[in-house]
């Protein structure tokens, strides 16, 4: 479960004596239950990426708390966050964020290397995940030798390799064509239903928002609507 309580966030811009406060998120209270798919929607600049960065510990809130899986993560040091992310969070980005100098296998293996998993176990897990994302045989390809859809599947495999209870996604279908988008969305649904993985997905895309159980609507840094999706 993710619980955001009384969260405020401001950035500070400009030189010391002319420092200006830019308030971005105000008074955010959000609860995301285990096994939910929640989409975060809102205009450009409304604070969606800032919220995701706060949920992943890349920025610290100016005020308020973030609690994930029962841990008060907003109090964490960077080191504690690094460990916590490796155990609990998977990430999917519009730009895939694969390491270009590593082949697909090494990209997917990386979180396990960081966790200190021994090589024979890593090999087993990576091979299995390549089958699951339908990329068997593409292990030795570098990101530049893969299509956009294949690169996104590598990044999904990298997100899944540590079995995280939560996946945070920032415009995951933004670089994909319609067919590849549908494939990814049905895979997200399947992971959610079969493995109860919680998804928080930033999106501008109505089709992505439609697979969510709830929609968090950010408007000028505030949550304005949080509607149920009564899809049948």
Ligand X SMILES: Nc1ncnc2c1ncn2[C@@H]1O[C@H](COP(=O)(O)OP(=O)(O)OP(=O)(O)O)[C@@H](O)[C@H]1O
Which DSSP category does 141 fall into?
Answer: -
- The least distance separating ligand X from the CB of residue 50, rounded to whole angstroms, comes to 3
- The least distance separating ligand X from the CB of residue 49, rounded to whole angstroms, comes to 3
- The least distance separating ligand X from the CB of residue 84, rounded to whole angstroms, comes to 22
Contact between residue 108 and residue 161 where contact means Cβ atoms under 8 Å apart: yes
The residue among 203, 211, 210, 208 whose CA lies nearest residue 171 is 203
- The least distance separating ligand X from the CB of residue 105, rounded to whole angstroms, comes to 31
Alpha carbon of 209 to those of 72, 162, 186: distances in Å?
28, 26, 13
Beta bridge partners of 2: 32, 68
The Cα–Cα gap between 222 and 117 comes to 41
In sequence order, what DSSP letters do the residues of 105-124 get, joined into one string?
A: HHHHHHHHHHHT--HHHHHH
- The least distance separating ligand X from the CB of residue 115, rounded to whole angstroms, comes to 29
- The least distance separating ligand X from the CB of residue 87, rounded to whole angstroms, comes to 26
Residue 48 vs 158, nearer CB to ligand X: 48
The only residue of 6, 11, 83, 140 in contact with ligand X, by rule CB under 6 A: 11
Residues 6+ apart with CB under 8 A from 207: 173, 181, 182, 185
172-211 footprint of ligand X as x/- string (CB under 6 A)? ----------------------------------------
Residue 22 vs 114, nearer CB to ligand X: 22
Residues in 42-61 that interact with ligand X by CB under 6 A: 42, 44-50
Task: Kindly determine how many residues on this chain lie close enough to bind ligand X according to the rule CB under 6 A.
Answer: 12
Residue 42 vs 143, nearer CB to ligand X: 42
Residue 156 vs 218, nearer CB to ligand X: 218
Question: Distance from first CA to last CA of the chain, Å, rounded?
Answer: 25
Q: Given the rule CB under 6 A, which of 41-49, 70-78, 124-132, 175-183 is the region that contacts ligand X?
A: 41-49
Query: Which contacts qualify for 134-138: CB closer than 8 Å, 24 or more apart?
Result: 135/104, 138/104
The only residue of 4, 24, 200, 216 in contact with ligand X, by rule CB under 6 A: 24
* Residues engaged in binding ligand X (CB under 6 A): 11, 13, 22, 24, 42, 44-50
């Amino acid at each position: 479960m993710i619980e955001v309580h009384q969260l405020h966030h401001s950035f500070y811009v400009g030189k010391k004596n002319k420092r200006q406060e830019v308030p971005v998120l105000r008074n955010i209270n959000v609860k995301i239950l285990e096994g939910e798919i929640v989409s975060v929607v809102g205009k450009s600049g409304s604070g969606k990426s800032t919220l995701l960065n706060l949920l992943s510990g890349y920025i610290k809130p100016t005020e308020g708390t973030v609690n994930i899986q029962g841990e008060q993560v907003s109090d964490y040091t960077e080191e504690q966050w690094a460990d916590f992310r490796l155990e609990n969070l998977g990430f999917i980005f519009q730009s895939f964020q694969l390491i270009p100098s590593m082949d697909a296998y090494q990209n997917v293996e990386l979180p396990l290397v960081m966790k200190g998993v021994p090589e024979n176990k890593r090999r087993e897990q990576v091979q299995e995940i390549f089958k699951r994302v339908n990329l068997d045989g593409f292990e030795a390809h570098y990101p530049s030798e893969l299509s956009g859809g294949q690169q996104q599947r590598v990044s999904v495999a990298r997100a899944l390799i540590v079995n995280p209870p939560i996946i945070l996604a920032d415009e995951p279908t933004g670089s994909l064509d319609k067919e590849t988008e549908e494939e990814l969305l049905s895979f997200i649904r399947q992971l959610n239903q079969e493995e109860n993985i919680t998804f928080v997905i930033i999106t501008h895309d109505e089709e992505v928002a439609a697979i969510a159980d709830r929609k968090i609507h950010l408007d000028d840094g505030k949550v304005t609507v949080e509607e149920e999706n009564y899809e049948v």
